[in-house]
Amino acid sequence: MNDDLFAGLSLLLDSRPPQETTGLVRSVFVSPDQLVPAARRLLAAGYHLEDISGLDTVEGILVNYHFDDFERPGRIALRVLAVRENLCLPSIASVFGGAEWHEREVRDYFGVVFAGNPNPANLLLPAEDTLTPLRKAENARRTVRELIDPGTIVTADQQFDRIFPPHPQGEKTMKSEEPA
């Protein structure tokens, strides 16, 4: 069932992180244009939205969407990068109504704009505030590869290494492991 959840969508990286340390069964990086179709698939498959959270990294703001299934538990992290030059992502509020508030929270904290959010106003910070309190100083940022261990890689698009370049010394590029 799980295997064809995103069939036909172009994923940047699809992997299986170690569940006992990460609490996730699947981690999927997608480009912004694949976000809404992926959310539709998840809703159709019976998943619910747990939360949406931002993460300030060298590459930009990585937005993590956590989904889980009530009947067959297993958490999926859907990750989308908002680059600093254009902090804008499509809204999934038309698919998961609960996303409206989560997106507004990410907007408050990181300044990411969600195009199509029905009520794009501050949620938790005062109405006129643009503080983005969870953005980090430039020297405090880490790369996505440093922070997130993808685990066993199922599919990897070439674009992934371009968007999240490996460190010159030592870090591997993302390649799917041949099934045994």
* Site residues, another protein (CB under 8 A): 20-24, 43, 46-51, 53, 55-56, 64, 66, 70, 73, 75, 77, 95-98, 100-101, 109, 119, 121-128, 133-134, 142, 146-149
- β partners of residue 134: none
Shortest approach of another protein to residue 47 CB, angstroms?
A: 8
* C-beta of 85 vs 128, nearer to another protein: 128
Q: What is the phi/psi pair of residue 163, to 5°? A: -75, -40
Shortest approach of another protein to residue 179 CB, angstroms?
A: 25
Q: Which residues of 20-33 are buried (b: 16+ CB within 10 A; e: fewer)?
A: eebebbbbbbbbbe
Q: Rounded to whole angstroms, how far apart are CA atoms 142 and 146? A: 6
* C-beta of 8 vs 73, nearer to another protein: 73
Strands 76-82 and 26-30: parallel
Shortest approach of another protein to residue 55 CB, angstroms?
A: 5
